[in-house]
Amino acid sequence: MLQRPKILIVEHDDFLREILGNLLHKKGNYILSGFCIEKTLEEAAGKHIHLVILGTSCERYEGEKTIHYLRKRLGEHLIFYLINHQQEPISFLGKEHQIAITELSIQKIIHDVTTLLGA
């Protein structure tokens, strides 16, 4: 049986988190989500997460330090996609792995994420 990719969505905005989760679920992905890093990590414990969609507006988000923390907790293999709520561009992650909230396009995120997963 083919395993569905598991995506962890950590985004403070309830609407954005829910719409992304629903659309990615319809594409055949298994979705875990939450509004804060710690609570979402509790839910993801023991699951093999393939990709993390992380909103920079999440409580306790600390840039590259947060990426390292999540990799330590969930595995070095993780692919990240950032929704950047900050004014400055993210320098530690390639452009294909992020979108600025000012340019927010749900369709672009869905396309980018499915491309990153090879689906």
pLDDT at position 43 is 87
Interatomic CA distance for residues 36 and 38, integer angstroms = 6
Instruction: Indicate the pairing of strand 79-84 with strand 51-55.
Output: parallel
Q: CA neighbours within 13 Å on the CB side: how many for 92?
A: 8
Q: Which amino acid is at 19?
A: I
pLDDT at position 79 is 95
pLDDT at position 119 is 64
6-56+76-117, which class in CATH?
Answer: alpha beta
* Domain ranges across the chain: 6-56+76-117
- Burial environment of residue 79 by CB neighbours within 10 A (0 to 12, 13 to 18, 19 or more): middle
pLDDT at position 118 is 85
**Parts of the chain with a pLDDT under 50:** none
